[in-house]
Chain A
Amino acid sequence: MRIPYRPLAIGVVTLAFSALVLARAQAGDRHFFAPVADLIVKEECGSCHLAFAPSMLPARSWQRMMGELDKHFGDNASLDPATAEKITSYLVANAGDAGGQRYSSKLLKGVTPGAAPQRITELPKWVSEHRKVPDWEWRHKEVRTKANCVACHTAAEQGYYEE
């Protein structure tokens, strides 16, 4: 029997690399934002754009956003009241300023107390973290908008936002 060395080697290298990345990410990385786990929230908030991690905004931001869904960044994203209420509770319970959210507090650094920012990409910390990204990169056809996290952060849907 011939042993397929090449595929085996590739497999081992891939596994080792994934393990390394995962270990680093799990070791309390400040670039981890727990992804949406609720299926309804994932479906309703994730069909047009990435279902942004609730920990990226404070609770009052989510409350305001869910109350203005008919004017959702220029689109009417209205939902039936029951669904909207379920989603609001989830977002608020897992918001960046909800108890024990260690990682996201960094992203909320510099947000005026009491303010309800709507765009994650306008948070002071977000802006400073992305200050080195040149303009042409934002305009790239694979990026298009600053809300398209996965264009650069390929594991964003899993919650990882390393370089």
Chain B
Amino acid sequence: MKNILVVTSGIVAMILSSATFAGPREDLLTQYAAAAKVTSFSAARGQALHTQSSSGGKPDTPSCTTCHGKDTRSAGRALTGKTIEPVAVSVTPTRYTDPAKVEKWFKRNCTEVLGRECTPQEKGDWLTFVIGQ
């Protein structure tokens, strides 16, 4: 009897840990996927977007890494001198859980760096990248 209990609870634990609970970040990804008409995003493309230099935006912010820093797990620094929490979810687990805040900063930062807003595809790729960091 005891054995059965152990086995059962083991199975339950496995199911629980493997199931992906849809949180605000996953909801955002779902929305971006629907808007971009894609089924998956690429962390590699997200990383490329994060590190690339663009001449479309403001000259003092050519790249995301200008302020966020090259290491996603380290704090960044705004041009004002203010510290920015690391973008990596593993280091700052509270990040990207408020959809309005995520949208607000995509709008501001994409406009600053690229000179235009990011597409749903780019947002999804970037979010996938930092969730995995």
A residues whose Cβ falls under 8 Å from a Cβ of B: 47-50, 74-77, 142-145, 147-148, 150-151
Contacts and interface: CB of A to CB of B under 8 A. Distances in A.
22 contacts: A47-B82, A48-B78, A48-B80, A48-B82, A49-B78, A49-B81, A49-B82, A50-B82, A74-B58, A75-B108, A76-B111, A76-B112, A77-B108, A143-B81, A144-B79, A144-B80, A145-B81, A147-B80, A147-B81, A148-B80, A148-B81, A150-B81
A151 B81 contact: yes
B80 A145 contact: yes
Contacts of B111: 76
In the A-B complex, the 9 residue pairs with the smallest Cβ-Cβ separation, listed nearest first, are A148-B81, A49-B80, A144-B81, A48-B78, A49-B82, A147-B80, A48-B80, A145-B80, A145-B81
A46 to B, nearest CB: 8
Q: How large is the interface on B (under 10, 10 to 19, 20 to 34, 35 or more residues)?
A: under 10
Interface of B: 58, 78-82, 108, 111-112
Interface secondary structure of B, over-half rule: loop
A144 B80 CA distance: 7
B82 A148 contact: yes
Contacts of A145: 79-81
Given A142-B81, A145-B81, A148-B80, 6 more contacts: A49-B81, A74-B58, A144-B79, A144-B81, A145-B79, A148-B81
Contacts of A76: 108, 111-112
A50 B82 CA distance: 7
Contacts of A150: 81
Nearest to B108: A76
B98 to A, nearest CB: 10
Contacts of B108: 75-77
Listed residue (B80, B81, B108) with the most chain A CB atoms within 10 angstroms of its CB: B81
A86 B101 CA distance: 17
Nearest to B83: A150
Nearest to B77: A144
Nearest to B60: A74
